Amino acid sequence: MFSRPTSNSMASPKKKLQGLVAATITPMTENGEINFSVIGQYVDYLVKEQGVKNIFVNGTTGEGLSLSVSERRRVAEEWVTKGKDKLDQVVIHVGALSLKESQELAQHAAEIGADGIAVIAPFFLKPWTKDVLINFLKEVAAAAPALPFYYYHIPALTGVKIRAEELLDGIQDKIPTFQGLKFSDTDLLDFGQCVDQHRQQQFAFLFGVDEQLLSALVMGATGAVGSTYNYLGKKTSQMLEAFERKDFSLALNYQFCIQRFINFVVKLGFGVSQTKAIMTLVSGIPMGPPRLPLQKASREFTDSVEAKLKSLDFLSFTDLKDGKLEAGS
């Protein structure tokens, strides 16, 4: 079952997590059970069709907090097993309301040979100060002392508004395995200051608002974790490449094209359920419905997106001519 050897050594920075990281969907059957049978095919799709070799499992997109602990363990195992020799890094989100559950999942991630763990702030009984949040994160990180640890900042969903900049101040003294930040928020002042104040430390700064990634690259993002990289991975990579080449005008054109699609779905009502529907349409792999309390994407949504995808020749950027942005597509 477990595919990679475990290690008892302290976390070593090894390969830095960078570039695109797909926040994986948890495929489900029509009756709400996890559909493990398509995960192997999903890995191949990400690698071959989207060029994405890093994944973030059991996060928001993966409905991690809607799964039981035993399901989360099995999902993590399946991704690690199926990703062996194909994926570069598999990071498991192990955040939970219960510290014990989070520690169990962290330890399990280490046992199965995952490449890192990430944790959100607990969001029912909440930590109200930086020190309390750090103490919680530290206890989880200590359960997997050989794994790189990432803090997953998503204040709009957790309701924990402690600024990331504040949290990062002195974090490695408390959490020696701290390796980076997954920043799913639009506050670029906070994000920029995280980068600015930790330039020497080689942290990974992973941005999580896909439609604004270019702005975060300017601010110093070293990578990105997001739902759209499941089906827009290749296109977003083109934006990253243009940015690397300092062709900012082309990079902006790519970002605008990506925004047009995201804006289209946002106007229809966009979230995890709709991500499942889009991914099913684009990849042909059945992602199934979400689990309650989420509702399946409507037929109207799926039909509109299908028509849009056809008109775009699925985001082939045919509307991007000679590096110029054409309006209205």
Ligand X SMILES: CC(=O)N[C@@H]([C@@H](O)[C@H](O)[C@H](O)CO)[C@@H](O)CC(=O)C(=O)O
The binding site for ligand X (CB under 6 A) comprises: 23, 56, 59-61, 184, 208-211, 225-228, 262
Least gap, CB of 272 to ligand X (angstroms): 7
| Site of tokens 């995280």 | 194
Closer residue to ligand X in complex, CB, 176/289? 289
| Site of tokens 């997106």 | 305
Q: Helix 99-112 vs helix 130-142: angle between axes, to the nearest 10 degrees?
A: 40
Q: Mark residue 2 as left, alpha or beta (left: phi above 0; alpha: psi -120 to 50; beta: remaining).
A: beta
At 171, give phi and psi (nearest 5°).
Answer: -65, -35
Cβ atoms of 21 and 54 within 8 Å: the answer is: yes
Question: Choosing from 42, 45, 151, 182, which is the catalytic residue?
Answer: 182
Least gap, CB of 237 to ligand X (angstroms): 15
Cβ atoms of 105 and 72 within 8 Å: the answer is: yes
Least gap, CB of 274 to ligand X (angstroms): 9
Closer residue to ligand X in complex, CB, 145/268? 268
Closer residue to ligand X in complex, CB, 21/320? 21
Name the residue whose CB lies closest to ligand X. 59
Closer residue to ligand X in complex, CB, 184/255? 184
Determine if residue 61 is labeled as part of a ligand binding site.
yes
Least gap, CB of 322 to ligand X (angstroms): 28
Determine if residue 186 is labeled as part of a ligand binding site.
no
Least gap, CB of 321 to ligand X (angstroms): 26
182 catalytic? Reply is: yes
Which token pair is 227? 């739902």
Closer residue to ligand X in complex, CB, 80/232? 232
* C-alpha closest to that of 27 among 61, 73, 55, 68: 61
Which DSSP letter does residue 48 get? I
* 293 cis-preceded (ω within 30 degrees of 0): yes
161 catalytic? Reply is: no
The b/e string for 282-319 (b: 16+ C-beta within 10 A; e otherwise) is bbebbbbbbbeeeeebeeebbeebeebbeebeebebeb
- Residues near 127 by beta carbon (within 8 Å), at least 6 away in sequence: 121, 133, 135, 136, 160, 162
- How many C-beta atoms surround the C-beta of residue 197 within 10 A? 12
Annotated binding site for pyruvate: 61, 225
Point out the residues that are catalytic: 152, 182
Annotated binding site: 61, 225
